[in-house]
Structure 1
Amino acid sequence: MMARAAIRVLTTEGIRVPEDVAIVGYDDTPVATDREPQLTTIRQPLERMGETMASLLIQVIAGTAPAERALIMPTELVVRETT
């Protein structure tokens, strides 16, 4: 939503996206593709993140959670029209 607002303000000020300024959003929500220009964005594995956190929560409740709780999950750059 913030990236869309930025595009709107920039366009109002006569600044062209992506010719003058590149914009990248985050989370690849439906807002990224619902209007022109389509938004370049970072996609996270939201479903996998939820499943992993639920599993970790069950382990915490059961007292079997691993000592290491930092998890790194892959993200993906989805290039569209704003870069």
Structure 2
Amino acid sequence: MFEKIKLEHKDLFSRFLSAQKIVLSDVSFTNCFLWQHARLIQVAVIKDCLVIQTTYENQKPFYFYPIGKKAFECVKELLKLEKI
């Protein structure tokens, strides 16, 4: 489901961020792409939301807030995936 971030994801980020009118640098493609060398950054589309997952070495992953119109449904799905 999640894929390591790569250049091909740039358009995916643009589509979701512009549709939601988000201009936060924390979730920009450029920022996420650059930080992948310090930690694992993966992306997925879940329930029509862009989800950014970050994992530091020897730690459990954490998620940025889903970007899309169905964020609540997406969070419920993430909780199922994490078996919380």
Give the structure-2-normalised TM-score.
0.22
Relative to its length, the structure with more strand (as a share) is 2
Give the structure-1-normalised TM-score.
0.22
